[in-house]
Amino acid sequence: MELRGLADFILARYDENNKLVTDTIGGAVDGLFTVDLASSLGATQANITNLSITPEKVYGSNAVAEQTVGVIQPSVALAANDIPHLVYDTFVGLQADQTNGGMAAKSGATVTGGLIVHSQHRSGVDLYMAFPMGIFTPGEMNLQTNQQNPTIVHDALTFSVQARASDQLVYQKFYSDEENFDYEKMLAFIFEGYTPKA
């Protein structure tokens, strides 16, 4: 399937029971924050790697006797032009310092959540690449001096995917041209605790 561009991606945070945190942080709706042109001046990257598994050959009697495969371990490098700082900091595990102000990074502090990446086929069919479980970590930040034009640093974060414990789901693709596709139903299936809108 030919895909053109990156329309947006949806970020979700989970509580200690792996249920959706349904707050409105930074303009989130029912706990879901959509990184798009309106919220973040546009999503710019969702580089999905490690979708494939390399078979490992098992030899016997001078021949390949069988092949085994390991665990799928996808990772998604995300980027956007201007995610609101409270949203970005919260999703990458920074914690509000109630005494001194600001957002504090502490070793071992991670945010578990889910992710849906949205692209489109040239015909207009939407593809939603959905990852129900993983952790968010911050990207690098390389600040440099302005010259004739400003040097701009955009937001980057990584989503490290893991299988959802309840059903071992690692990822699932949804297509808008499928007869039984329902956007709200998809959100409820991927983000446990989400209440679909009628």
DSSP result, 106-130: -TT--EEEEEEEEEEETTS-EEEEE
Residue 197 inside a domain? The answer is: no
pLDDT range class, residue 53, cuts 50, 70, 90: confident
- pLDDT, residue 108, reads 87
- pLDDT, residue 75, reads 97
Distance (Å, whole) CA 32 – CA 39 = 12
Q: Do the Cβ atoms of 156 and 182 come closer than 8 Å?
A: no
Percent share of the chain, pLDDT over 70: 100
165 three-state secondary structure? coil
Residue 195 inside a domain? The answer is: no
Among all chains, which residue has been given the structure tokens 């109630």?
A: 98
Residue 198 has pLDDT above 80, yes or no: no
Q: What is the mean pLDDT of residues 139-167?
A: 95
Q: pLDDT tens across 96-137, in order?
A: 999 999 999 999 889 999 999 999 999 999 999 999 999 999
Q: What is the pTM of this model?
A: 0.93
Q: Which domain holds residue 90?
A: 3-190
How many folded domains does the chain comprise? 1
- pLDDT, residue 190, reads 98
Residue 148 inside a domain? The answer is: yes
6 three-state secondary structure? strand
- pLDDT, residue 159, reads 98
Residue 111 inside a domain? The answer is: yes
Cα–Cα distance list, 69 to 41, 52, 57 (Å): 41, 10, 9
